[in-house]
Structure 1
Amino acid sequence: MTIDARKIRLLMALRQSGVTDTKVLAAIERVPREVFVPDAFQDQAWENTALPIELGQTISQPLVVGLMTQALELHPRHLVLEVGTGSGYQAAVLARLCRRVFTIERLKPLLGEAERRFRALGIDNITTRLGDGTRGWPEQAPFLRVLVTAAGGPEPPKDLTDQLAVGGVMLIPLGDGYHDQKVVRFRRTEDGLIREDLWPVRFVPLLSDPPQQVRSAS
């Protein structure tokens, strides 16, 4: 089956599973997922499944990417903070839908590979940083949209919620363990945060590094 046929099949599956925003589907269609997938898994690049990448991390299932992107309710003028660059795939999808993505990764080799992919694809509205994502990006805050692609504990990191603008939306997987996670959407109002539990997921954990082990790469 050709890449185009696989892509069409995947997009149809995403629509049937709840990704109905045509702009999100178009972004997924335009981002070549095979670029973000290791060579050993190229035959599965357009399958609706999570795949392993370097350093024990994963590239998320396209359905999860689609649903989370859709739930962010993006606007072309938004500045988006992403915590957990990973392969760079989610950031590349976001970059098709917003003004700029600020993405943070704690593992230097992963960030380097993601940056290489962004350059190869000519994506110029993603700014990267090597660092502790739980601290956010204070210099660019507040953000109207925040997406965390690793699982926190029962509650989101305070630094991230503090950097969410009034009227802003944050999506983050929360839970007490790998088998007890769900995507949670927070909306910042003048009176505080409104929480909405969405759907179950399984993400790698959101980790905080000692400050001496991280540095800015931006």
Structure 2
Amino acid sequence: MRKQQTLASFIRTIFIGMLFCSVSFAQSDSIPKNKKLKDSSKQQEKYGLRLGGDASKLIRSFLDDDYKGFEINGDFRFMKKLYLAGEFGIEEKRTTTDYIDATASGTYIKLGVDYNAYENWYGMNNLLYGGFRVAASNFSQKLDSFGVYSQNQYWAPQFTSSETKEFSGLNAVWAEIIVGLKVEVLTNLFLGVNAQFKYIISEKEPGNFENIYIPGYNKTYDSGSFGFGYGYNVSYLIPLFKKAR
């Protein structure tokens, strides 16, 4: 487990380092072009559909035996600073503690808008953005074993049941604030990183059992309404048309 965490931290450091190096390189490389094109009336910016996936979920699936998942994501630029954005994913997560062994599996979808706060030089398409999502998940919970707590451990020690129970038809709806960075490292190819702050609006729970993990939302933190997440994205922009700056 320690080796997995070390490798994950190493990959995360490499990924973030590549992003910032790419930003510096892109800015330095664009300076001469900007000087030449500064007064040009023909400057245009790309508008199109950007599609990609969350590399962190693929890496986690490889490193963590208790997790499987993938996510596809995309955005469409419809105004100079605004992008329609969304994500769709599938996750399966096993949670094991001294008192419970349960597995959550299901799908999720997120839809919303991103605002790009970064002022690009001509020829650049980087994003430093904040956004909002409304998200929903449909999932099931499989309970493989659980402990029944007893206040008197001497006369009635804790009882552990190994009877498998499955609860299907569960769902959750939440709102999400996202902040992130997307950097064009090659023509139309982007690397990105983001952080997500989540708030549960509603959820359907199984009887006598709480949702420990919700696909797309992550850990529920002991019935709390708040959650957190992150992602490392690789995406490709399909240019559809151009507009004047």
Q: Same fold (TM over 0.5)?
A: no
Name the TM-score class by shorter chain: under 0.3
| Structure of greater Rg | 2
* Larger strand percent: 2
When normalised by structure 2's length, the TM-score is 0.26
Select the structure with the greater relative contact order (CA < 8 A; seq sep ≥ 6).
2
